[in-house]
Amino acid sequence: MASKTILRVCSDIRCMKVRGATNIACTALQVIKGARNKKELTEMIALLMKTRPTEPLMRNGLRYVAYNVQQNFDFKKSLNFWADRYMTMSKFALERIAEIGAKRIVNKARIMTHCHATTVASILAKAKEQYKDFEVYVCETRPRLQGRITAKELAGYGIKVSYIIDSAKQTYINDMDLVLVGADALTAEGNIINKVGTSELAILAREADVDFGVAAELLKFDPITARGHPEPIEERDPGEVWDKPPKGVKVRNPAFDLTKRDLIDFIVTEEGVLSPHNILSTAYEKYPWLRR
């Protein structure tokens, strides 16, 4: 029987009260620490796995804990140990990405971003700490307007921010030096899955000859994509787009889209700046347990 806490956390993730791959993974790993035995842990993991389909950072973490905890005798101690260990790996990866990515932010740069990504925000915060002067164009990101979270956070760091509606991307792309986005999933082919609208931004960047960079932890690599499965793309409630559409109008609401590797100039990871072609080998080298 699932406890109220796990049901509340699952509902918070589904309705996006808790959102963003890093936050979701961390919240999930934290809540499973409440399991009292293996059976409860298995039930909790099954519920969390069903919350949002495009979340390999969470799925990898839950699988990592489930696999390792099995082999230990003191259940509680071992559960805390493995959950904390995954969260530490994720935190360390984020810190490395901030340090490495900040080097790609040059003085006076104009950068466009989409949605809210912890990785991108950390890179820009680090570059600002290094006294770099740059400006960020933030796309609104319909329908949930996560661009506002980014705009507010960056402005709080003292970064110059311009906030634009999604359809104004093309208007400003020629003024940009760099497009930098996060990712929810990295695939075996070197493609990335990120907030819907990202692939359009990549196409615009290519056309305008602006570098298109991604910042993502290798822990977001989804091993199912190496076994022939496509990364699932979440389709959310149409009411987020139009609550009462007229009769006969079907509203579609995909949360993410896939950006092809050929449109990606570089991916900032905890192992350095990589070409999309090296994602699979580097992810398996860094985290061999992802192969299981």
**Residues with catalytic function:** 115, 184
Radius of gyration of the chain (CA): 19
Closer to ligand RI2 by CB, 254 or 272: give it. Answer: 254
Closer to ligand RI2 by CB, 63 or 116: give it. Answer: 116
Min CB(94)–ligand RI2 separation in Å: 8
Q: For residues 77 and 83, what is the distance between their CA atoms, to the nearest angstrom?
A: 10
Min CB(19)–ligand RI2 separation in Å: 4
Interacting residue with ligand RI2 among 184, 222, 231, 270 (CB under 6 A): 184
Q: For residues 187 and 169, what is the distance between their CA atoms, to the nearest angstrom?
A: 26
Question: Is 119 among the residues that bind ligand RI2 (CB under 6 A)?
Answer: yes
Q: For residues 136 and 172, what is the distance between their CA atoms, to the nearest angstrom?
A: 11
Piece of the chain touching ligand RI2 by CB under 6 A; list 14-22, 75-83, 273-281, 284-292: 14-22
Long-range CB contacts (< 8 A, 24+ apart) of 272-279?
272/100, 273/100, 273/104, 275/190, 276/190, 276/191, 276/192, 277/190, 278/190, 279/186, 279/187, 279/188, 279/190, 279/218, 279/221
The count of other CB atoms within 10 Å of the CB of residue 49 is 16
Spatial contact of 66 and 42, defined as CB atoms under 8 Å apart: yes
Min CB(168)–ligand RI2 separation in Å: 19
Question: Is 20 among the residues that bind ligand RI2 (CB under 6 A)?
Answer: yes
Piece of the chain touching ligand RI2 by CB under 6 A; list 20-28, 159-167, 206-214, 265-273: 20-28
Read off the tokens for 162: 């311009």
Question: Is 101 among the residues that bind ligand RI2 (CB under 6 A)?
Answer: no
Question: Is 90 among the residues that bind ligand RI2 (CB under 6 A)?
Answer: no
Residues that bind ligand RI2 (CB under 6 A): 19-22, 115, 117-119, 146, 182, 184, 194-195, 255
